[in-house]
Amino acid sequence: MYAIEINSLTKKFQKLTAVDNISLKVDEGEIFGFLGPNGAGKSTTMMILTTLLKPTSGVALVSGFNVVSQAKKVRENIGYVQQEISVDEYLTGRENLQLQARLNHIPKNQIEKRIDDILELIELSEKQNQAVISYSGGMRKRLDLAGGLLHHPKVLFLDEPTVGLDIQTRRRIWEYIKTIHKEYGMTIFLSTHYMEEADRLCNRIGIIDYGKIQVIDSPQTMKNALGNEVIVFTFENQNEKRDILIDKINEIEFVKEISKKDEQVTVFSSKGTEVIPKIFQLSSNYGIKIKSISLTQPTLDDVFISYTGRELRDDNENYNQRREHAKMMRLK
């Protein structure tokens, strides 16, 4: 049995297709990540899988249960930590967890022990009796994570678990997620628009854009598919032959793929050291000078660009603006 099985799932909001015919399977115990930009359809998919939204068409099973016809069974087997932090600021950490425990129908005689265990796991035992309003963003998120774990779910859904947190806090949360996974061995389905997060945490990743899955694979396989080296260069001067030159570079042996953006050309290759001299030679044939050139390993960023033609920005600035923009683009 799969932990999650999705077949031709589609969700429409009036004219907008937020989730567009996606299919995928997640193994038990796997950490699977949905990687995609604002408005890609990550939260919508997750809300369908957690029974909060009904699909327009298609079928999804979680822990073997149908998310529409067996919604109650699904809810018993899952934990869901939403994109927005949902702890109550005026209660203490412990009181928040007690509330969660009661909402999840945990047997009364087990509640306090489970809370003790989870507080220790997320290292909040010392702060447990303080009001959450005194907690930092990272501590709130950890408490939020703990709330989703109290009933020992088989499948844990984490929607953008570190969005809006600074990089140090984000790294710490990653460590907690790994600890939780090791301790409980549950399946984790998370969504993110941070490359590094997907790369560090996930066994497999699905790149989602405009509601569609572009590719599903392990981060390493995705990176390897691009060749094991990336050459990035910029031109000092250019002429009308630039595009011909780029086509010629694409024909060099060991070049797997090439993309250009403004001044910068990126070449994915399996043997960078052999390709670089040829790039210099070709460009001098066409009277074009190269200003700078570098050789690196491919990152998940490169993978994303190669599948979507766009960059996935790692900043929180203009978050809402980009979200709105993504929406407008989809309505055209």
Ligand X SMILES: Nc1ncnc2c1ncn2[C@@H]1O[C@H](COP(=O)(O)OP(=O)(O)OP(=O)(O)O)[C@@H](O)[C@H]1O
With CB under 6 A as the contact rule, which of the stretches 12-20, 86-94, 111-119, 142-150 interacts with ligand X?
12-20
Q: Which one of 102, 260, 291, 327 is in contact with ligand X (CB under 6 A)?
A: 327
Contacts of 150 (CB under 8 A, 6+ apart): 97, 100, 101, 104, 106, 114, 115, 118
Nearest distance, CB of residue 47 and Mg ion, angstroms: 9
Partner whose footprint covers residue 114, from ligand X, Mg ion, none (CB < 5 to 8 Å by kind): none
Q: Are strands 78-81 and 31-35 parallel, antiparallel or unpaired?
A: unpaired
Interacting positions 28-57 with ligand X (CB under 6 A): 36, 38-44
Nearest distance, CB of residue 13 and ligand X, angstroms: 3
Whose Cβ is closer to ligand X: residue 29's or residue 164's? 164
Note whether 330 binds ligand X by CB under 6 A: yes
Whose Cβ is closer to Mg ion: residue 190's or residue 230's? 190
Q: Which residues pair with 70 in a beta bridge?
A: none
Q: How far apart, in whole angstroms, are the C-alpha atoms of residue 42 and residue 40? A: 6
Nearest distance, CB of residue 194 and Mg ion, angstroms: 13
Closest C-alpha to 80, from 184, 187, 2, 7: 187
Taking CB under 6 A as the rule, which mask of x and - marks residues 137-176 in contact with ligand X?
A: ----------------------------------------
Q: Which one of 2, 5, 16, 313 is in contact with ligand X (CB under 6 A)?
A: 16
Q: Which one of 43, 92, 192, 308 is in contact with Mg ion (CB under 5 A)?
A: 43
Nearest distance, CB of residue 314 and ligand X, angstroms: 13
Beta-carbon-side half-sphere exposure of residue 38 (alpha carbons within 13 Å): 18
**CB 207, CB 308: distance < 8 Å:** yes
Partner whose footprint covers residue 40, from ligand X, Mg ion, none (CB < 5 to 8 Å by kind): ligand X
Q: How far apart, in whole angstroms, are the C-alpha atoms of residue 92 and residue 140? A: 11
C-alpha of 302 from chain center: 15
Nearest distance, CB of residue 67 and Mg ion, angstroms: 18
Q: Which residues pair with 32 in a beta bridge?
A: 189, 204
Taking CB under 6 A as the rule, which mask of x and - marks residues 88-127 in contact with ligand X?
A: ----------------------------------------
Q: How far apart, in whole angstroms, are the C-alpha atoms of residue 171 and residue 9? A: 33
Q: How far apart, in whole angstroms, are the C-alpha atoms of residue 327 and residue 276? A: 41
With CB under 6 A as the contact rule, which of the stretches 55-63, 110-118, 282-290, 321-329 interacts with ligand X?
321-329
The pairs formed by 61-64 with CB atoms below 8 angstroms and a separation of 24 or more are 61/2, 61/4, 61/5, 61/6, 62/3, 62/4, 62/155, 63/1, 63/3, 63/154, 63/155, 64/1
- Contact residues for Mg ion, defined by CB under 5 A: 42-43, 83
Q: Which residues bind ligand X (CB under 6 A)?
A: 13, 16, 18, 36, 38-44, 83, 193, 323, 326-327, 330
